Structures are given as structure tokens and as C-alpha cells.
Amino acid sequence: MSVTDRREFLVQSAGALAAMAIVPDVLGRVSRLQREAGVAIIGTGSQGRSIIDELQQIKGATISALCDIDGARLRSGLRRVRGAEGFESHRELLEKTDASAVFVATGTPDHKRVVLDALSAAKHVYCEAPLAHTIEDAREIAQAANTSGLVFQSGFQARTNPVYSLARTFYRSDSVRELVSMHARSHKKTSWRAPANSEDRAALLNWRLDPSRSAGLAGEWGSHQFDVFHWYTGMYPVRVRGIGGIRLHKDGREVADTISLQLEFEDGAVLSYDATLANTYGGRYEVLHGTNAAIKLAWSHGWMFKEADAPTQGWEVYANRQQFHNDEGITLIADATQLASQGKLKEGIGLPHDSLHYSIEAFLKSVTEGAEVECSADEGVRATIVGIKANEAVREGGIVEIDPGLMG
């Protein structure tokens, strides 16, 4: 019996207890590649620097080159990586580096140009998400990736997150049962405006605030969270209602700093979403409400809230519980049965690394070991399209239809 067949058998025959038992334990595990991988990073802004930090925790990954058209950001990246070569032109980097894989962490509007050049240079590509700020660019990226014969991974991180993978086995068992509703939120008090000493540099760094180049909160933040629901349910919205405004950052910007969305699915299910740059309370999370239980996901943590009339499945004896006001949440922990037997259950709460770490590790294992890509170019396009359409709804302050044909 194959690993996949055994997984399906266990989930069907033993329910969530099996799901707990088969998810690999990530506690104390050192990220290590079976074969050395030389990589380059194009774009050394905040996300590029985060990629640097995570790569340096993966044994076998070597950063050989960095690129950024902004000199200050390039120098900041180079200070983090001993021995890496710096370039201000991504084409020059691609010509000179012997790295087999490239991380594209530029601004979203620049993804297409860099990705196409990297694939043409026969480099495996990890592209940050969303893939692009227009549907046309996103589809062009996917077409090039799918015909390249190279590894391409879209940077939607939920699909490689161990907590989200574990929770998905619960969702797809009878633990949650029928889907009732969905909700997600992303709150962080920040400006999106980078300081600059010239108009040209301001335009370069502040592309998120340019309505002609930005996918807004719905695209830049929302698409990552929408993809969670796509992955869990296998469904994509057919229309979206949106509204947005500027509640705090009244500095001349046209891109909303606060939005509210209703994404409607063909079966009548609705995903409610709100995001803001004006307040931090609530943070970032997703919730799926079912007739037997609700699952709440918060990137490093996950919980299940069982209904009082939900059947007992047997695995609850291993569960760690947390109190949330009047509700008791069962903490979703990788390898819970083993930890419970060792008296270490509470040590399993939360992830030891940021979700970006697992996304990078999965990509490099696809490159070096031939592992299946966790988030394909096609899935990246679908999530990107939903984010772009949601942003259109915010800008228009109304309803935008999403043609199912766009999802391929």
C-alpha cells in the first residue's frame, strides 16, 4: 500500500485520530535538503529579506546572488549574506549566476518580466504572491511556467503550512460536516508608504499605493487568505461585493486602507472578509463554520470548536484545549498522539517557524528531490484572479462577477 493510499485508508477508517497520527512532527526538526541547492533572490525589500532569513535556516541551501534595482535595499540584503554577489539588473544576475533556482520577491507589477526572464534562463522559480496585478500578466506567467519543464511554485503559503495541512484533514473528514459559512480578517496598523528621498524613489518603492499598479488590500493580502478556502473547499467565488475607503492614512493616496468584501460561491456559501491598515485588533485569521464544528486558522496556530451535539470520534482524549471566552477550542497539533504519550502535548502548540519557511522548504525539495509542487502556477493564477476581481469590487463600490471560465 502506498503512502497516499495508506493516508486515505487511515482517514476514512479512523477519522481525525488518523489525521493526527500521520502528519509529520515538525517540532525540533532541522530543515535539511538531501542535495545542495544554490539559489538567487531577486528583490531584497522586506519580503526578500524575510526569504534570506528563512533560507539561512535550511541546511543545504546556499544564497549565491542577490538583486535589487534600489541600491539601499540591495546593500541591506548583502549585509545579511556573506559571500553573495550583488546585482542591480536581474538580467545580469541571470546571465552570471550558477544558481539553479530563483526567488522572485520584487514588487507585484514586476513579477511577470522577472519570472519570464528567469524561466528563459532555465532557472526554477519561486514567485511571491499574488502572481501579478493584472489577470493578463498572471496568465502569461502560468503559461510560461507550464511549458518550461522547470519547477515553478506560487508563493501562497497556506498550502505548505503544517498546521493548515493538518486542519484540512479534519475539514475533509466528518469532523466539520456541512459548510455553513466562512470568514477571514487581516488587520495590521501600518501605512504601506515607504520613506524616500526623491520622487523617483518614492514611485519605485510605493507601488502598492499606485492604483494603476496595485491590487490593493484584496489582492496583496486577501488573495493569500482566499486561497485557503479554495484549497479546503475546491470552490471559487462567482461574484464579489466590495466596499472600501480611507479611514486613517489621509495622505493623498487613492488605494483604500480599509475594505469589506462578500465573496459568493455557486452553491450559496459566502466568505466574509475585511482588512485594514488602520487597526491591529484581531490580527490575521480564517474561519470555516460547519454543522459539527468550526475551524479557526491563524497561520502559526489552529483550533477546532466542536458543537455540543457533534458526535465523539475518539481522538478527543488526546486533545489539548484552550478557552476562548465562552468557547473551548481544541488545539490542532501535528503528531498529537505521540506527544501525548510523551507528556509533551503543550509543546506542540504553534509552529517553530514562520509559514514562509515551509513554503521555501517545499519549493527547494521540489527542485532537489523531485517532490510534487505544493502550489502550482495554475492555482496561483486562480487565487490571483480572485484577489484582482475583489479589488475591482472595492474600487467600484459594488458587485463584480467572476466568470468561472477564468479559473481554467
What is the per-residue pLDDT for 306?
Answer: 87
Give the tens place of pLDDT for each residue, 21-78.
223 355 556 688 889 999 999 999 999 999 999 999 999 999 999 999 999 999 999 9
Measured from the Cβ of residue 57, the count of other Cβ atoms closer than 10 Å reads 15
Can you give the pLDDT of all 408 residues of the chain as single tens digits? 343 443 343 333 333 322 222 233 555 566 888 899 999 999 999 999 999 999 999 999 999 999 999 999 999 999 999 999 999 999 999 999 999 999 999 999 999 999 999 999 999 999 999 999 999 999 999 999 999 999 999 999 999 999 999 899 989 988 899 999 999 999 999 999 999 999 999 999 999 999 999 999 999 999 999 999 999 999 999 999 999 999 999 999 999 999 999 999 999 999 999 999 999 999 999 999 999 999 999 999 888 888 888 887 766 655 666 676 667 666 776 555 554 444 544 555 678 899 999 999 999 999 999 999 999 999 999 999 999 999 999 999 999 999 999 998
* Annotated domain spans of the chain: 161-351+383-407
Strand pairing partners for 264?
239, 270
What is the per-residue pLDDT for 351?
Answer: 86
d(Cα 385, Cα 135) in Å, to the nearest integer? Answer: 6
d(Cα 345, Cα 347) in Å, to the nearest integer? Answer: 5
Which position has the grid cell 459539527?
Answer: 292
d(Cα 266, Cα 264) in Å, to the nearest integer? Answer: 7
Quick check: 355 and 300 in contact, CB under 8 A? yes
What is the per-residue pLDDT for 26?
Answer: 58
CA-angle at 246, arms to 280 and 381, nearest 5°: 75
What is the per-residue pLDDT for 11?
Answer: 37
What is the per-residue pLDDT for 78?
Answer: 98
User: Widest CA span of the chain, in angstroms?
Assistant: 64
Give the tens place of pLDDT for each residue, 149-168.
999 999 999 999 999 998 99
Estimate to the nearest angstrom the gap between the alpha carbon of 355 and the chain centroid: 8
Provide the Cα torsion 384, 385, 386, 387; round to 10°: 50
From 3.40.50.150, 3.30.360.10, 2.40.50.100, 3.30.559.10, which CATH number describes the 161-351+383-407 domain? 3.30.360.10
Measured from the Cβ of residue 307, the count of other Cβ atoms closer than 10 Å reads 14
